[in-house]
Structure 1
Amino acid sequence: MNSWAPKSGKVILHVDMNSFFASVEIANDQSLKGKPVVVAGNEKERRGIIVTASYEARAFGIRATMPLWEARKKCPEMIVKTPNHELYRKVSRQIFEKLGSISPKVEVASIDEGYIDITDCEELGHPIQIAESIQKMLLQELDLPCSIGIAPNKFLAKTASDMKKPLGITVLRKRDVPFILWPKNVGEMNGVGLKTEEKLHSIGIFTIEDLAKSNEEKIHELLGINGISLRNKANGIDDREVDPSRMLSYKTIGHSTTFSTDIIEEPTIAEKFESLSNRVGDKLKKKGLIADTLTITLRFRDRKTINRSKKLISPIQEGSEIFKEAMDLWKKHWNGEPLRLIGVTLSQLNPVDEVSKQLDLFSFEKDAKQEPLFETLHKLQSKFGEQVIGLGRQKKKKIDRNNILDILKSTE
């Protein structure tokens, strides 16, 4: 990047923390430094799975979704840490506060990654110098490594940050796209999931170059407006702004309803709680937030009002989950007196990645319930190769259906 920025262009950084959960554990306990550390489910459970691994552990071939028992075979001396939710969220907030000291234009993409628009930060130095200063700041002040992509837009910046880990700094210009991105399989492109990859294959699109040069009408017919966006990105075009609103500290989101008459009928109360829960869940989704604490409000016939709160075991966003927790609180604290108003409020809100499901802090509990699926997945990968099937964006190989069935039966 010979000049500060293209005319009328932008300079955007994508900061991606390296092996975040494991790195936080190591930073929190210096005795772990330089050792193979993994964050995983209960080590006593044979089918616990690896959520993330330090780079020292990865050197032994340990990776996410690997069963703990298998990881132990590869590295008997590895250290297993259970997820520390509060610590990860606390450190994430610290990271973004520090990024905000570089530029006010910071967007939280997930717990461990975000964008910074530094177009107006010329006084801080060259973009590479700024990236180096961010890496140095996070290492010195939080003892956490990160990789940074530098580009004229968000898509290219995120793509660049994936190119060198750990502690990489990569510049990706639009003019580099034909040489660096186009030769890659379309499934390797950020934003292309397995189903989208299959659809693109069905019309003869196998590389990013194929997508970049594809017929716009055909792509729109196949994938709708998202297809046009992907085609633009394949050409290095992405007009999305860095959205600082995701840095806002939302305190609470809630809804309440007042009955026209005092109510004691449980089905009616439950129905209203369900409606309120769904409305709150919808608002959380729209704002890209997830909640740690739920509060219900009960106002009785004599206008006495009480609030009862519950610290949730794991963060929630879905209306059905909110409804279940609200009902538990209501049944525990309602004394049978007629109600005039009820309300549902969520607090201790944090941003959650809206683009794709990742095996991260917010999905760990649900993913842990699917550990048999991970074990089956790994058996398939061991027999036919890691690219045969996966949880995310991976290229599939054709394999014999009977072989898959045999493996599936063996895990029952």
Structure 2
Amino acid sequence: MGRQWKGKVIFHVDINSFYASVERIHDPSLAGKPVAIAGNPKERKGIVVTASYEARAYGVKTTMPVWEAKRKCPGLIIRPPDFDKYRAASAEMFHLLEEYTELVEPVSIDEGYLDMTIPFKEGKTVQTAYELQNRMNRELGLPCSIGIAPNKFLAKMASDMKKPLGVTVLRKREVPQKLWPLPVEEMHGIGHKTAVKLKDWNILTIGDLAVFSASSLQGRFGVKGKKLSERANGIDHRSVDPEAAKEVKSVGNSITLSSDVQDKEELMNVIQTLSEKVEIRLKRKEVSSANIQLMIRYSDRQTITRSRKLPNPLFTGAEIKRQAAELLNKHWNGKPVRLIGVTALNVIPLSEAYKQLDLFSYKKDMKEAELSHSIAELTNKYGDNIISKGSSLKK
């Protein structure tokens, strides 16, 4: 992908069998085995949420009843969902993606778009994708597929073309050859009901949709019909929008250590560095947090995440480090550490954080965070009452 590439360069990163992959991080004995995540796994009416590729080879599918999945795959290992683990792994995934570009748009817990146009270097796009894929697998234990294309729709379609662990390039000029022969229901954005309606018009493939009258589609489906026609022709003008998922849920940093570390002082130094980086990112995003999480991955890939909620939001790296250090003291089992991460969870806008500060500690917290200028701005904007509640209570 050298000099012929023009326009934007968009990556779509999709973690393969996300929930099952996270379970394998926490229990390496699951590697290579058929695994399914299911609600109420002990009940016959439980439903498969996701399945590993080993399980899919037996015909196990999402939404399949547990009893049917076990019939198809007698050796199937079923685990109940653990969303705290999945959210923690998702946060680590997006932190890694943000090392490549600030233009990262989360789509769901396990997939996102990256606008790589600016960091793109001539001839290095595919190489960068493989590097990202390898780091995701090596550092986080998360296998992923990556689609590379000039827009979001084509990048999404490309990432679906090779799973697991695929890196696929899809150019707009390749749409007639690679997309048009596919059944219309395989097109991103077309669900079962829409596919049935399209087939009533004898639209069976993406190619059929591409050449069908756009005005007729718009008359039948409204604005969606116009978009379907554009997508089938490889057209998608949407930009990668980091704000699309709206408010930031967490801010964190992690590092895979160059060698396994068993020295506590060295681990504390790493935590301090990570905490300072978290502070910088919190300030940049203008948010704060009262819930700090520590992630520890041991040399045997066993991973734990522990967090502690606090009465007041934290602003500084020193405070974040203090909480993370206490978590290390309490939960580290003394074994060699491969990766360590510090994350501020459930972040809130600074304006909300001011309101949550404890009556007796807010002056100290404000001073440490050097927020007096911001408070002055808030006072000018909203009036004196925003910071005079303490004196009112005193009376």
TM-score range, shorter chain: 0.5 to 0.7
Matched, 1:154 2:152: yes
Q: Secondary structure at the match of 2:137?
A: helix
Q: Which amino acid aligns with 1:214?
A: F
Q: Tell me which residue corresponds to 1:5.
A: 5
Q: Secondary structure at the match of 2:181?
A: coil
Q: Tell me which residue corresponds to 2:79.
A: 81
198 and 103 in structure 1: CA distance in 2 versus 1, 3 angstrom threshold: same
25 and 125 in structure 1: CA distance in 2 versus 1, 3 angstrom threshold: farther
1:195 positional shift: 2.5
Q: Which amino acid aligns with 1:3?
A: R
Q: Distance in 2 between matches of 1:111 and 1:240?
A: 20
Equivalent in 107, 114, 117 of residue 115 of structure 2: 117
Q: Tell me which residue corresponds to 2:98.
A: 100
1:34 positional shift: 1.7
Q: Tell me which residue corresponds to 2:210.
A: 212
Q: Which amino acid aligns with 2:106?
A: V
Aligned counterparts, 1:254-403, within 5 A: 348=346
Give the unaligned 5+ runs of structure 1.
253-292, 294-310, 312-346, 351-412
1:110 positional shift: 0.6
Q: Secondary structure at the match of 1:245?
A: coil
> What is the CA deviation profile of residues 144-181 of structure 1, one whole-angstrom value per residue up to 9, with x for unaligned ones?
10001010000000000000000011111111111111
1:28 positional shift: 1.3
TM-score after normalising by structure 2: 0.61
* Partners of 1:199 and 1:222 within 8 A in 2: no
Give the unaligned 5+ runs of structure 2.
251-290, 292-308, 310-344, 349-395
250 and 214 in structure 1: CA distance in 2 versus 1, 3 angstrom threshold: same
Q: Secondary structure at the match of 1:14?
A: strand
Q: Which amino acid aligns with 1:79?
A: I
Q: Tell me which residue corresponds to 2:138.
A: 140
Q: Distance in 2 between matches of 1:22 and 1:251?
A: 23
Percent identity of paired positions between Structure 1 and Structure 2 = 53
* Partners of 2:104 and 2:112 within 8 A in 1: yes
Q: Which amino acid aligns with 1:62?
A: V
Instruction: Spell out structure 1 runs of 4+ moving beyond 6 A.
Output: none
Q: Secondary structure at the match of 1:48?
A: coil
Q: Distance in 1 between matches of 2:136 and 2:173?
A: 31
* Partners of 2:147 and 2:170 within 8 A in 1: yes
Q: Secondary structure at the match of 1:191?
A: coil
* Partners of 1:4 and 1:127 within 8 A in 2: no
Q: Distance in 2 between matches of 1:111 and 1:4?
A: 34
When the two structures are aligned, how many residues end up with a matched partner?
A: 256
73 and 216 in structure 1: CA distance in 2 versus 1, 3 angstrom threshold: closer
Q: Distance in 1 between matches of 2:199 and 2:175?
A: 21
* Partners of 2:147 and 2:168 within 8 A in 1: yes
> What is the CA deviation profile of residues 326-371 of structure 1, one whole-angstrom value per residue up to 9, with x for unaligned ones?
xxxxxxxxxxxxxxxxxxxxx9489xxxxxxxxxxxxxxxxxxxxx
Q: Which amino acid aligns with 2:14?
A: D
Equivalent in 198, 201, 211 of residue 199 of structure 2: 201
TM-score after normalising by structure 1: 0.58
> What is the CA deviation profile of residues 209-237 of structure 1, one whole-angstrom value per residue up to 9, with x for unaligned ones?
12211222212111111111110111111
Q: Which amino acid aligns with 1:35?
A: K
Q: Distance in 2 between matches of 1:173 and 1:213?
A: 19
Comparing 58-67 with 32-41, which one deviates more in the overlay?
Answer: 58-67
